[in-house]
Structure 1
Amino acid sequence: MRYKHFKNADVDVSSLAIGTWAIGGARYGEVNEKDSVDAIHYMIDNGVNLIDTAPAYNCGISEEIVGRALKGGYREKVFISTKFGIGDGMDKAGVIPRDASREACFKECEDSLRRLDVDYIDFYFVHWPDANTPIAETMDAMLELKKQGKIRYIGVSNFDKPLIEECLKTTMIDAFQPPYSMVNESEKELMKWCNDKGIASFSYGSLGSGILTGAIRSIPNWDPLDFRFTFYDFYKEPKFSKCMELLKTLDKISANNGHPLSQIALNWSTQKDYVGTALCGVRNVKEATENCNAFDWTLTEEEIKIIDDKLKELNI
């Protein structure tokens, strides 16, 4: 496993992190808890030292599974990252509420500590911006939690540059969580800016919600409400066809170097200086093994150029 130093937090974190959106089970296909826990244990045993979750991942179920998985000495081996600001997900009307108020910050932190069954959270993120709450109020609340020892590092997720700059007027930001992968470089410039400020980027969607594994070559017949349809656009035209063209290039590289597409995608993204760690969801030990093995080797400069040239051509 490779590690990167997070400047503001002053910690070394594995280039691969465990993402847990899928293991919550809601609208993300079938999931088996034992398989998920086994996968988490495998990744930690093989050097991964960050696990990311959130209350919104199926009404806190993901946090509860993570809490159970970290029993037996595993808690001491990892940094836990979780979030607040959208409660436990959608309300009855199907709307995702946003509340990053002081009250919500304190309440959600206590709820997460209870579900995770831990005394403190390492990285605590505002999940999404809340236009109705002054950002200074949110940051002040997080600073108070930090002083109380309930959280160690402050992070923001899905924020734009002006809002992060507002945060920095109140406190140092340790981490930023944006989407980033071969098929989504929309936040690249912001990630570079954050890196210059010592803010580590936890990139999510590192495998494009599975499309970069190469396992899916036609638009799937999933439930229309599956998050892979509703949250991402990789499985919709015109982006789907462009992704398939990219896979043809990755197939050739894979045939030449012997590494599966998922490893190529993870290797590519984590070689970027501005990517602190790549969050990657796993459901079983097979997937965990394949992802961990992405860090036993390195793409050549020529291979990276081939990929970058194709991405520029496709403009995904």
Structure 2
Amino acid sequence: MEYRKLGNTDLEVSVITFGAWAAGGWMWGGNDDKAAIEAMKVSYDLGITSIDTAPIYGQGKSEELVGQAINGIQRDKVQILTKFGMRWDDIKGQLAFKSKDNDGKDIDIYKYASRDSVIKECEDSLRRLGTDYIDLYQIHWPDATTPIAETMEALLRLKEQGKIREAGVSNYNVQQMEEAAQTINLASNQVPYSMVKRDIEKDLVPYVIEHHKAILAYSPMERGLLTGKMKPGQQFGEGDHRAGLKYFKDENINRTNEFLQKIKPIADEKDATLGQLVLRWTVEQPGITIALAGARNADQAKQNAGALNLKLSSDEINFITTELNKLQLVD
């Protein structure tokens, strides 16, 4: 496994970090708790020492499962990355969207990151995770109702108290990062990035390179699309958020699979899967520090960890990128 420091901090995390969104079940059509915990444990054994989660993932469930998975591991040998600012248990801030919890009950999700709310959320996360500090604490989405400085001041206080090691943001644009940086040193920005979603290359990537910040790429497999295992007519279970995304239209599945077949010989030559090739290409891109990869079971965890056994030459990376640039998805 490889490890990289986040920006200009001393916090070092595994280049493939375990993404625990699906572990919470919410928006993924449910999940097997026992299998999710086993996936995290197997990942750790294979060198994936970092886990990214959030309170909103299953309304606390994902964090609780992470806490169970790391129980018994020496605390300084694992890095916990979690978030705040998405409230389902209060009606303050900006309504983000309406949803249903794992029991099918209607819930309203609010973006809210006031000083008091951040402090409360941190305490709740520490309790669910069963730890006394969080390695990287990230605002989940921008909150238009709270000044960025107020949110960052709360993070500064938590850092001074030793409850968090480093502060990060998620889904922030360059302007928002610049504003946040006036109050606190940011380690990173967690944003969506994949072979079929590369818009951050225009402005965010140049910014983080210049200012020595890290990018944590989430959904690098585009929620399973880039495994090459999806076929037209793909059926999703009730509550699975992927059903309404453009990437999973039959035409886009076809076009993506045609691209993947073009690069498959590289994976075959290295005795690797397409998914492993995709992850390796992702973490080789300029400005991309970490790729978050979820796993529902131990086998998927082993597949993700194997991505970093793969070595790509500059010619191979360039070939993949050249073919990728020809791929056009329909809206």
TM-score higher than 0.5: yes
Partner of 1:211: 225
The aligned runs of 1:27-38 (5 Å cut-off) are 27-38=27-38
Count of residues in correspondence between the two structures: 315
TM superposition shift of 1:191: 2.7
Check 1:210–1:104 CA distance in 2 against 1; reply closer, same or farther (3 A cut): same
Deviations, residues 245-303 of structure 1 (Å, cap 9, x unaligned): 22222333333332110100011011124111110001111111111111112123232
Partner of 2:327: 314
Check 1:136–1:2 CA distance in 2 against 1; reply closer, same or farther (3 A cut): same
Q: Which runs of 4 or more aligned residues in structure 1 lie more than 6 Å from their structure 2 counterparts after TM superposition?
A: none
1:314 partner SS: coil
The aligned runs of 1:85-234 (5 Å cut-off) are 85-88=85-88, 90=98, 95-189=108-202, 190-223=204-237, 225-230=239-244, 232-234=245-247
TM superposition shift of 1:197: 1.2
Q: TM-score, normalised by structure 1?
A: 0.93
Q: Residue type matched to 2:218 in 1?
A: Y
Are the aligned partners of 1:57 and 1:88 in contact in 2 as well (CA < 8 Å)?
A: no
Distance in 1 (CA, whole Å) between partners of 2:46 and 2:206 is 29
Q: Which runs of 5+ in 2 are unaligned?
A: 90-97, 101-105
Q: In the alignment, does 2:307 pair up with 1:294?
A: yes
Check 1:128–1:54 CA distance in 2 against 1; reply closer, same or farther (3 A cut): same
Check 1:303–1:29 CA distance in 2 against 1; reply closer, same or farther (3 A cut): farther
Partner of 1:236: 249
Are the aligned partners of 2:270 and 2:310 in contact in 1 as well (CA < 8 Å)?
A: no
Distance in 1 (CA, whole Å) between partners of 2:211 and 2:241 is 32
TM superposition shift of 1:95: 4.4
Using the TM superposition, name which of 165-174 and 236-245 deviates more: 236-245
1:13 partner SS: strand
Using the TM superposition, name which of 183-192 and 45-54 deviates more: 183-192
Identity across matched positions, percent: 39
TM superposition shift of 1:112: 0.6
Say which of 275, 295, 298 aligns to 1:262.
275
Using the TM superposition, name which of 267-276 and 86-95 deviates more: 86-95
TM superposition shift of 1:60: 0.7
Partner of 1:47: 47
Distance in 1 (CA, whole Å) between partners of 2:298 and 2:238 is 28
Q: Which runs of 5+ in 1 are unaligned?
A: none
Are the aligned partners of 1:55 and 1:88 in contact in 2 as well (CA < 8 Å)?
A: no
2:224 partner SS: helix
Q: Structure 1 or 2: larger strand share?
A: 2
Deviations, residues 184-228 of structure 1 (Å, cap 9, x unaligned): 112123133213212111110011101111121224211364122
Q: TM-score, normalised by structure 2?
A: 0.89
Give the CA RMSD over aligned residues: 1.9
Partner of 2:25: 25
Q: Residue type matched to 1:235 in 2?
A: F
Are the aligned partners of 1:85 and 1:99 in contact in 2 as well (CA < 8 Å)?
A: yes
TM superposition shift of 1:160: 0.7
Deviations, residues 74-100 of structure 1 (Å, cap 9, x unaligned): 533111011111124856766431101
Partner of 2:65: 65
Are the aligned partners of 2:231 and 2:254 in contact in 1 as well (CA < 8 Å)?
A: no
